[in-house]
Chain A
Amino acid sequence: MTPLLPAGVGRLGFALDEVAVPYLFLFALIWVVSGLYTLVTTERGTRAHVFAYYLPSALGGIAVATAADAVSFYLCFALMALPAWGLITSSGTPEARRAGAIYLTLTAIGEALLLAALVMLATEAGAIHLDALAAAFGAAQHRDLIALLLLASIGLKIGTLPASGILPLSYTYTSAGPAAALAGASVKVGALAMVRLLPAGIMPEAWAHTVMLLGLATAFVAAVLGVLTTTPRAVLGYSSASQMGLVLIAAGVSLAEPSAVVLAHGAIVAFSLHHGLSKAALVLGDDVVSRLSGRARTVALAALVVPALALTGAPFTSGFVAKYALKDAVHALHGPVPEAVYALLAWTAVGTAALMLRFLTLVVAQPQARRSSGPAPAVFWGVVLVTGALAVWLWPAEWNVHAAESILSISSIWTATWPVLVAVAGALALRAAPGLRSRMAASVVPGDILVGAAPLVKAADRAIGTRPAPASPDTRKRATGISRALTAAEGRVVAWMVAATVFVVLALVFVAIVTR
């Protein structure tokens, strides 16, 4: 029997465990620092407006790390995701509003799927605590359906194909501070859900393979879309989708093979930390660069290269650690599919490198627009940068051990470096073909097919629209015709001779019936 909700909010469960700690660290850092960044970079007048949305989002976004039961998880999830709409649309432009609408729609769908899965699990488990849910997953009657719902919900959150466009849409029109929070923390809740909620080691192998392939595909396709898109923030959005595709691979690993679960979860956590901090650094850095000029700008640009490299998994960066953890996890599986994935992993780095190159070129090309806002933004950015560079290496965990060991081996350095070189080579080659370049560049609108689907939605809208049909003159004419006919009929019945005749007939009919 499913328990009633815990009586009163005070009984909602929040707890710190080994999964919660890294996420709590990540979310808290990102939301707080991004919040401070927002504080110093927004004008006085709009501050209240922005923070009215930012604070609830931050609250949900930080608390979700410690949510220990289904209700509190859902609550924090919703609390974080819904006010984010306000952050996305705060600029008020039509594109921003459209992005907000799409975001909200997909978020609502994702939340619905999540809720369905949670309710079903809670029913099976007879409890709402997340541990109990995980334990009951194996014997659940609708195990496959629940798993599907969870994957769909997580996929919408992290920008899996074909919904990759949701991430660039969320970041492009938002101002830098909130965008950093969304990119660095909000998306990682999907990763947290992977660790907390997905069934570990109990699904059939086919599931694992499908998910891994989907993640791989996302990694590649999103990279292509990102290289072709218009603004730095959009590139970062597609980059996030691509990177989260890699995380999805790790999630796939955890689905089928019990012995690989620990490795897979470790990879997910590692990636979350690495990517969250690096991406936030990139988002903030882009904004910082645009506020600087002269020598300071050059320094900032140089510093920006660090998290970019980290994303590609270059040696000595946090990405190196994360990639190693992921490779270890994939390596724990055997069979043609995992091996193919393993082989292609390295090539995803080429895509990432290309994305980063595109990003940097766009940043460089940006005009140095606004007036300087003092040292504060750069300082906050610096905090994120440094933490990102160091945290993953220094975190006491299993998943950075292997990376630490291999850090100085030539083969690993080469494995981490050649994708970057390939990307650079490709970029140089493109320089030589300006026509091709100009046609390719900016050919993808942030949001790609999601935005393209808008006319379809509008058409469906119109089809549903209920407008009362005006009373057609035909029906009115018919009505008066009927009433006239009836009145005429009555008139005839009531006429003397007719009436008398009718009566006599009636009497005779009675007699006939009686004497039959």
Chain B
Amino acid sequence: MTVWLPVLVPLVTGIATFALGEGRSKARAAVNLAGAALASGTVISLVVGAYSGTVRAGEVPLLPGLPLTMHGDLLGLLFSAVATVLWGVTLVYAIGYMDHARDRARFFGFFAWCIAAANGVALAADPLSLFLFYEILSLTTYPLVVHSGTPEALAAGRKYLYYALGGGAALLIGVAWLAAIAGPVRFTPGGALGALSGHETELRVIFGLLAGGFGVKAALVPLHGWLPGAMVAPAPVSSLLHAVAVVKAGVFGIIRLVNELYGPELATSLGVAQVLAVVAAVGIIFGSVVALRQDDLKRRLAYSTIAQLSYITLGTALCSPLAAAGALAHLAHHAVMKITMFFTAGSLAETLHVKTLSGLPGVARRMPITMTSFAVAAFALAGIPPLAGFASKWMLGAGAAEGGSVWALLVYVASGALALGYMVPILTASLREGNQPARTGTESDPRMLWPIVIVAILSVVFGVTAGMPGSPAHWAVTAIAPSFGGWTP
């Protein structure tokens, strides 16, 4: 039963939010925060269980021969923990950000449902169940993307749908086809398709379909087109969903696909992992380079996200244990780093109406704490030790070198240099002299300020404690190790 709670609690929270209606904002806030706390608690209890060896599982009959299955394994729980805990942080931020917005009940309701869907993706134990929640995630995020109702928002939403539903169609065929030739499969560390031989071509095509389907949300170039446009959504949406939940669901799907469905050995022997690696590498360079050119802050961050997500995809596709662990660790690290930056962008937009690089001069003086947090996250992203990004980048790079793919290592470090290139101008511009409205009281709404500080601190903590039990890096190593047959770093 516990394994269903991370899905059910946010689901019920969402229903309650809709039922409360637009008026009662205090009650709504209380319900949501309580829901987030409760959901986080259940995830933590599942984690504790998983670390001590008890993997909770559950299933519900659904389609003939294919029940809806869930299991609380360490791999899935990492994603689940990221999404759920950051949901709580984002709620505080969103309550501050959306103070003067409309349709807040709708917003918070669908927000909660997105987390429910994300947790479903995280804890699904077989491809069909994962696919189900994956599609639900697309649906529940749509109202959030178009929330403001402006023509740009609607256009962005339409583009998002094209991509998301197209990806979903590919996934449907892939999952159904796989079920047709392999019967019901569950995610198993190291791969679940061992018994299939003689179906090589089919397996390759299916991999392509599945990787493509997941690749849409994972912003694999050239399937990334929806992400920059989706930045028109309110900042809490961009932060949590497009930096944490939605995009991470895509890379998470790829991680499950390569490590626990096909397995590293099969993926490599079929040759599909290598192709995926090259595609991801292209995405890294493309995203980093295009980010350099963006004046709009959120678009810059969006392209950065495209590149960073491909870090994860590349690390997974290398099929080398340390790189795979690094990819999983980066899922968590990037989430906290990027969410800091999106929070900052939103805070700048709400408090100072600054949305572009050219509008930044003077901001550092006006909002020092916010920009310092941003700076911390930016340097973390660029891979400066001892921050979080360095830890996962080290694992990714070392894993690449270990696995004999030095080219991937060079891609990673090049991208790190490019990351400095697109992050530092934001800092330097903010440090210049400029005219910003005068300050009254705190530099911004405290509900928006504290979450930024908290997640920035997390970027530091995750990096400094990397390797110690409890840190995402260590967690990732423990979760990935079974897929590589008893590997230890």
A–B touch (CB < 8 A): the answer is yes
Question: In the complex, A115 Cα to B390 Cα: how many Å?
Answer: 10
Interface residues of B, dominant DSSP? helix
Give chain A residues whose Cβ lies under 8 Å from the Cβ of B416.
Answer: 108, 111-112, 115
Q: Does A513 contact B (CB under 8 A)?
A: no
Q: Does A3 contact B (CB under 8 A)?
A: yes
* CB pair B409 A119 closer than 8 Å: yes
* CB pair A115 B424 closer than 8 Å: no
Q: Does A325 contact B (CB under 8 A)?
A: no
Given A71-B385, A112-B413; A2-B466 close (CB under 8 Å): no
Give chain A residues whose Cβ lies under 8 Å from the Cβ of B154.
Answer: none
Q: Does B417 contact A (CB under 8 A)?
A: yes
Shortest Cβ distance from residue A210 to the other chain B in the assembled complex, whole angstroms: 22
* CB pair A4 B467 closer than 8 Å: yes
Question: In the complex, A85 Cα to B391 Cα: how many Å?
Answer: 24
Question: In the complex, A79 Cα to B413 Cα: how many Å?
Answer: 17
Give chain B residues whose Cβ lies under 8 Å from the Cβ of A466.
Answer: 290, 293-294
A133-177: CB near B (< 8 Å → 1, else 0) gives 000000000100100000000000000000000000000000000
Given A122-B398, A464-B290; A142-B406 close (CB under 8 Å): yes
Which residue on chain B has the smallest CB distance to residue A53? B431
Q: Does B189 contact A (CB under 8 A)?
A: no
Which residue on chain B has the smallest CB distance to residue A104? B424
Q: Does A89 contact B (CB under 8 A)?
A: yes
* CB pair A2 B417 closer than 8 Å: no
Which residue on chain A has the smallest CB distance to residue B303? A466
Binds B, one of A5-13, A32-40, A397-405: A5-13
Q: Does B384 contact A (CB under 8 A)?
A: yes
Q: Does B435 contact A (CB under 8 A)?
A: no
Which residue on chain B has the smallest CB distance to residue A12? B386
* CB pair A464 B391 closer than 8 Å: no
Give chain A residues whose Cβ lies under 8 Å from the Cβ of B14.
Answer: none
A73-88: CB near B (< 8 Å → 1, else 0) gives 0110011001001100
B268-293: CB near A (< 8 Å → 1, else 0) gives 00000000000000000000011011
Given A116-B409, A120-B409; A3-B401 close (CB under 8 Å): no
Give chain A residues whose Cβ lies under 8 Å from the Cβ of B398.
Answer: 2, 119, 122-123
Q: Does A461 contact B (CB under 8 A)?
A: yes
- Which listed residue (A1, A71, A82) contacts B402, Cβ 8 A? A1
- Which listed residue (B293, B383, B468) contacts A115, Cβ 8 A? B383
Q: Does A246 contact B (CB under 8 A)?
A: no
Give chain A residues whose Cβ lies under 8 Å from the Cβ of B468.
Answer: 7-8
Give chain B residues whose Cβ lies under 8 Å from the Cβ of A119.
Answer: 394, 397-398, 401, 409, 413
Give chain A residues whose Cβ lies under 8 Å from the Cβ of B397.
Answer: 115-116, 119
Shortest Cβ distance from residue B406 to the other chain A in the assembled complex, whole angstroms: 6
- Which listed residue (A1, A85, A111) contacts B424, Cβ 8 A? A85
Which of B289, B293, B322, B433 has the most chain A CB atoms inside 10 A of its CB?
A: B293
Total interface residues on B, using CB and 8 Å? 44
- Which listed residue (B406, B474, B489) contacts A145, Cβ 8 A? B406
Question: In the complex, A145 Cα to B420 Cα: how many Å?
Answer: 24
Q: Does A113 contact B (CB under 8 A)?
A: yes
* CB pair B489 A4 closer than 8 Å: yes
Given A119-B397, A461-B292, A461-B293; A2-B402 close (CB under 8 Å): yes
Give chain A residues whose Cβ lies under 8 Å from the Cβ of B473.
Answer: 4-5
Question: In the complex, A37 Cα to B294 Cα: how many Å?
Answer: 40
Question: In the complex, A382 Cα to B384 Cα: how many Å?
Answer: 37
Question: In the complex, A466 Cα to B394 Cα: how many Å?
Answer: 31
* CB pair B292 A464 closer than 8 Å: yes
Which residue on chain B has the smallest CB distance to residue A89? B428
Shortest Cβ distance from residue A137 to the other chain B in the assembled complex, whole angstroms: 14
Give chain A residues whose Cβ lies under 8 Å from the Cβ of B420.
Answer: 82, 104, 108, 111
* CB pair B428 A115 closer than 8 Å: no
* CB pair B385 A123 closer than 8 Å: no
Which residue on chain B has the smallest CB distance to residue A78? B384
Which residue on chain B has the smallest CB distance to residue A146? B406
Q: Does A430 contact B (CB under 8 A)?
A: no
Shortest Cβ distance from residue A444 to the other chain B in the assembled complex, whole angstroms: 27
* CB pair A120 B417 closer than 8 Å: no
- Give B330-362 interface residues, CB cut-off 8 Å to A: none
- Give B367-398 interface residues, CB cut-off 8 Å to A: 379, 383-386, 391, 394-395, 397-398
* CB pair A5 B402 closer than 8 Å: no
- Which listed residue (A6, A108, A115, A142) contacts B467, Cβ 8 A? A6
* CB pair B386 A75 closer than 8 Å: yes
Give chain A residues whose Cβ lies under 8 Å from the Cβ of B292.
Answer: 461, 464
6 nearest CB pairs, A to B: A7-B467, A112-B417, A108-B417, A112-B413, A123-B401, A2-B398
- Given contacts A9-B464, A112-B416, list 16 more A-B pairs with CB under 8 A: A1-B322, A2-B398, A2-B489, A5-B467, A7-B465, A74-B385, A92-B432, A104-B420, A115-B397, A119-B398, A119-B401, A119-B413, A120-B401, A145-B406, A461-B292, A464-B290
Residues on B close to A: CB < 8 A?
A: 289-290, 292-294, 322, 379, 383-386, 391, 394-395, 397-399, 401-402, 406, 409-410, 413-414, 416-418, 420-421, 424, 428, 431-433, 464-468, 473-474, 477, 488-489
For this complex, 21 residue pairs linking A to B, each with C-beta atoms less than 8 Å apart, are A1-B488, A4-B473, A4-B489, A5-B395, A5-B467, A5-B473, A8-B464, A8-B468, A12-B386, A78-B385, A82-B379, A85-B428, A104-B421, A108-B417, A108-B420, A109-B417, A112-B414, A115-B397, A119-B398, A145-B406, A461-B293
